[in-house]
Amino acid sequence: MIQKSIMIIAIMLFAFCANGADLRKQVEASLKKGVAFFYTTNTHGGYVYNVTPDLSLRWGEGPKDEHKIEVQPPGTPAVGQSFLRVYQATGNVQALKYAKEAAYALIRGQNQYGGWEHTINFAKLSNKMVSFDDNQSQAAVSFLMAMDQQIDDDLISAATKRALEMMVATQLSNGGWPHMYPEQGNYHDYATFNDAGINDCIRVMIEAYRYYNNDEAIEKSLRKATRFMIISQLPPPQPGWAQQYNEFLQPAWARTFEPPSVCPTVTIRNINTLIDLYLVLGQKTLLEPIPDAIRWLREIRMENGKWARFVELGTNKALYYDRPRIRVDKLEDLHPERRTEYAYETDLEEQLEASSTRYEKAIKLGHENLWKEENPELTQKQIIERIETISIDVEKILKTQESSGVWITKNDRFKKTMPKGERWNGQYLTMDRISSEVFNENIATLCEYIELSSQLDN
């Protein structure tokens, strides 16, 4: 049986070597062209979400502005991570240069608190606030830490240190992180799980704990966050988590369509964050809140098979709110902006089952063995099988790349940006666009192919 397995692996390896060498060269050439072209879309070394093929217009979520770059992914930090990964996979020194320029762009926009807002406007740099919304400051800190591990650069090291000090300083006394900092006198001051705000902050501190494992401030921050994860779980019979909490640790209003409630999406995300913390700290008490949360999630599934975004406190009824705090009875009664652009109902079955399975493995295996299972050293057979799986995507990416190195999303349909003060009216625009998100996704797939191929060489 062992001899047969060895023979099968040998045949698979021979077939890959015979057919894969040419594809690998194509992938390497594609990566080189791809990063070189995408670099030409930069503004001040940073990136936005979308660019027209003639490079005449660049924009993110807000109005078009040639001096703005995006901090929120898939903008500058995410593109910088893509460049860095290309360098790590292929040794392309130009990719590392582009990554360094992206880091420098972020550093120029790092504000007096050591963090970032949604965008950096180089025509008028702002020092107003730190935003933890939508992985904004968190993504920037992650990228700078990754660069700090890769190269010896005093400017990057100093900016990374400031950013980590900011992460510690902005943490609330209860262990969570606010939506924004400093205090705004409104819901932005609340401990906020919405859009994975606290989850991304914890992820950053876990990364920092691994990179700088002798830093007492980082370890203390991580343990404070651990406590907050435990104490912010609501009591039975609704043992989930809310999107945001006031200073009394009560679920609270945020925007006028985000009521105090229990949130299934947040609850699933927090289950995984608790397991992530368990993998690092090894404290089995971190797993104790999970069974009740899973049981509650299964109980509140709606008749249509989905889960409500907001579940009413005390009743488990789905909540639907329009602006300004207008409650309606069902999804169809909402304004088109809320109904189509905000996930009031979501299919969470796959995520719930995956989280439940992960919890069961954590109990069965313990933190060290679960870490090994989730970060395995692949066998040659597994590497070849994975290469075969992604080869279809790789070939599609190569086919859709133009000779200049650009990937253009043809006839891309997207939400129309409305004039300031006007609500979206349901209109979409269609045009060809160069997308940072598509670039990052393509780079990730091509780099994975190179990384796996390199493992077979060793």
Q: Per residue in 193-209, pLDDT tens? A: 999 999 999 999 999 99
Domain-embedded: residue 424? no
Q: What is the pLDDT of residue 294?
A: 98
- The CA-based dihedral angle spanning residues 296, 239, 197, 417, taken in that order and rounded to the nearest 10 degrees: 50
- Determine the Cα–Cα distance for residues 167 and 34; give it in Å rounded to an integer: 34
Q: How far apart are CA 149 and CA 143, in angstroms?
A: 10
Does 394 map to a domain? no
Domain membership flag for residue 109 = no
Find the distance separating the first CA and the last CA of the chain, reported in whole Å.
25
pLDDT, residue 200, reads 98
Residue 192 lies in a domain: no
Looking up residue 261, the CATH number of its domain turns out to be 1.50.10.20
Tally of structural domains, the chain: 1
Whether 328 maps to a domain, the answer reads yes
Q: Does some domain include residue 323? A: yes
Put the strands of the sheet holding 50-51 in their side by side order: 58-59, 50-51, 428-435, 409-415
* Domain assignment of residue 320, given as a range: 226-376
Question: Which residues lie across from 321 on neighbouring strands?
Answer: 327
Distance CA 1, CA 287 (A): 40
The low-confidence residues of the chain, meaning pLDDT below 50, are 4, 7-11, 13-14, 18
pTM above threshold 0.75: yes
* Within a domain: 20: no
Instruction: Compute the distance between CA of residue 208 and CA of residue 133 in angstroms, rounded to an integer.
Output: 20
Q: Is the dihedral of CA 301, 307, 312, 318 positive or negative?
A: negative
Residue 95 lies inside a defined structural domain of this protein = no
Return the bridge partners of 51, or none. 58, 434
Q: What is the pLDDT of residues 37-58, one digit of tens each?
A: 999 999 999 999 999 999 999 9
Pair of tokens at residue 395 = 């070939």
